[in-house]
Amino acid sequence: MGSNKGKTVVITGATKGIGKAIAYKFAKEGVNVAFTYNSNEQIAKEIAKDLEDSYGVKARAYKLNILEIDEFKPLFLEIDKDFNRVDFFVSNAMIYGRSVVGGYGKFMKLRPKKGLLNIYTATVGAFVRGSQESALRMQKVGGGSIVTLSSTGNLVYIDNYAGHGTNKAAVEAMSRYASVELGEMGIRVNAVSGGPIDTDALKAFTNYDEVKQATIERSSLNRMGTPEDIAGAVYFLCTDEASWITGQTIVVDGGTTFR
């Protein structure tokens, strides 16, 4: 694969789970990492130090609440002070807990003005604002690659997942629109849609054990997905090997969606 050494990736929500695995994958490949945290500042600082110590890259953590969409501009201005370029953007962070009440639940209990709207902001809104700020910087270095996380919960029914599933469908569609308009800047835009991956977000599901067991049974590979399974696909989309891939969704689901 062509080298990405010395380039910079911006990742939202890399304190744990999939975002953290993505940060380590890029760092391992020599890419400098700017990433965000929301509540886990101490963990974020430890990860930044570990990335620098382990891989000799530059790594910095910044505070970002994706529900506060106006925070994206100052975030990127801070990143500009520490990094002289942005080549890749990964829209990964996701909300959970109180902010999704009214959005995570049965169809008849959905509340459009509360949880559903928050999930839209955190999924589509955050992708749009992060991609806009990134694209301005990618343009200056002749192009780049943007990847949004999605989930197969927009293809198959998952209990209580209507709010997230529909917004993942929306962000995939938004990424296709972005790919058309950003293509002339040399920027590719894609989505990686994951099947169930063992992270804290999945543990927050009320039927976590059931989902885990069902995933293992449905997977052609007879196992649960890991954050590293997703990180590999995200990184691939940011390599020269993916140079004509844009406006696509790569499904990384261990074969679970088909069964």
Ligand X SMILES: NC(=O)c1ccc[n+]([C@@H]2O[C@H](COP(=O)([O-])OP(=O)(O)OC[C@H]3O[C@@H](n4cnc5c(N)ncnc54)[C@H](OP(=O)(O)O)[C@@H]3O)[C@@H](O)[C@H]2O)c1
Select the span of 64-72, 79-87, 104-112, 139-147 touching ligand X (CB under 6 A).
64-72
State which of residues 28, 50, 67, 247 lies at the interface with ligand X (CB under 6 A): 67
Whether the Cβ atoms of residue 163 and residue 124 lie closer than 8 Å to each other = no
Select the span of 8-16, 76-84, 182-190, 237-245 touching ligand X (CB under 6 A).
8-16
Separation CA 202–CA 128 (nearest Å) = 25
Whether the Cβ atoms of residue 194 and residue 253 lie closer than 8 Å to each other = yes
Please give the span between the terminal C-alpha atoms of the chain, in angstroms, as a whole number.
33
State which of residues 17, 102, 115, 130 lies at the interface with ligand X (CB under 6 A): 17
Does 19 bind ligand X (CB under 6 A)? Our answer is yes
User: Is residue 168 among the annotated active site residues?
Assistant: yes
| Binding characters for ligand X, 91-120, by CB under 6 A (x = yes) | -xxxx-------------------------
Amino acid at 39: S
Tell me which residue has its CB nearest to ligand X. Answer: 17
DSSP code of residue 160:
T
| Binding residue count for ligand X, defined by CB under 6 A | 28
Nearer to ligand X by Cβ, of 80 and 198: the residue is 198
Q: How far is the CB of 192 from ligand X (least distance, A)?
A: 8
Separation CA 171–CA 21 (nearest Å) = 21
Does 210 bind ligand X (CB under 6 A)? Our answer is no
Separation CA 173–CA 19 (nearest Å) = 22
- CA nearest 63: which of 85, 44, 81, 82? 44
Nearer to ligand X by Cβ, of 17 and 254: the residue is 17
Nearer to ligand X by Cβ, of 96 and 141: the residue is 96
Separation CA 46–CA 43 (nearest Å) = 5
Whether the Cβ atoms of residue 184 and residue 246 lie closer than 8 Å to each other = no
Separation CA 68–CA 48 (nearest Å) = 23
Q: How far is the CB of 17 from ligand X (least distance, A)?
A: 2
Active site residues: 161, 168
Interacting residue ranges for ligand X, rule: CB under 6 A = 13-19, 37-40, 64-67, 92-95, 149, 151, 194, 196-197, 199-202
